[in-house]
Amino acid sequence: MTRIRLFLIAMLLFATAVNAQTNKFKRAEALYQAGGYNEAIDIYKDELDKIKDKQELAMCFFKIGNCYRHIGNSRQAEGFYQKAIARECQNPKVYLYYADMLRMGEKYDQAIEQYQKYKSLVPGDKLADVGIQSCDLAKQWTETPSGYEITNMRGLNTKFNEYSPVFASADYTTMLLTSSREGTAGNKKVP
């Protein structure tokens, strides 16, 4: 009798743990679908060590990478896409998104390689061609920079919003711009 009770208690605890894990993943999935990427990242990361299946783990890494990509953290996204690829993620978009993150990190040759892998898997998608062209142009531009130098103009750039500067005189001594700072000449506010 005691063994049966112990066995039943163990099974109940196991079922409760599995159900809790399932509920956490369902919550992470719901957050992911709703755009709650920061919260989804935390839940996915907490559950990573509980995933035993290689493909499920690869997809979890892929989704974490997507979350980071959506919130604009390309460096973290790059790392998680790389982990997803290392675990043979079955979604071909992993190569496209990984290439995008590499391109954002100015790793153009590596990005081109990933775009080509994506192109071989999804030949009809022109995004790979656009990505490759973008990398080629970026490499060209960094090799031959323009003669322009950007300088912060403290009199023009303030903590307020400034838009559309244009020269208003032929001798370039007068400039007009739109600004949200106090004391501007116009009194109209755009909603």
Note the pLDDT tens digit of each residue in 23-35. Answer: 788 888 998 888 8
Residue 44: both structure tokens together? 């996915």
pLDDT band at 49 (very low <50, low <70, confident <90, very high): confident
Distance (Å) of CA 34 to CA 30, 38, 41: 6, 11, 13
83-127: pLDDT as tens digits: 999 999 999 999 999 999 999 999 999 999 999 999 999 999 999
Mean of per-residue pLDDT scores for the chain: 84
Whole-prediction pTM: 0.68
Phi then psi for residue 171, to 5 deg, are: -95, 10
Say what the pLDDT of residue 187 is. Answer: 63
Q: Can you list the domains of the chain with their CATH numbers?
A: 24-89 (1.25.40.10), 92-142 (no CATH)
What DSSP element (H or E) covers 54? helix 54-70
Say what the pLDDT of residue 118 is. Answer: 96
Instruction: Measure CA of the first residue to CA of the last residue in the chain; give whole Å.
Output: 75
Please count the other Cβ atoms lying within 10 Å of the Cβ belonging to residue 81.
29
Q: Give percent of the chain with pLDDT exceeding 90.
A: 50
Q: What's the rounded mean pLDDT across residues 52-69?
A: 94
The answer on pLDDT for 15 being more than 60 is no
The answer on pLDDT for 21 being more than 80 is no
- Bridge partners of 172, per DSSP, are none
Distance (Å) of CA 176 to CA 53, 61, 146, 165, 171: 61, 49, 26, 6, 14
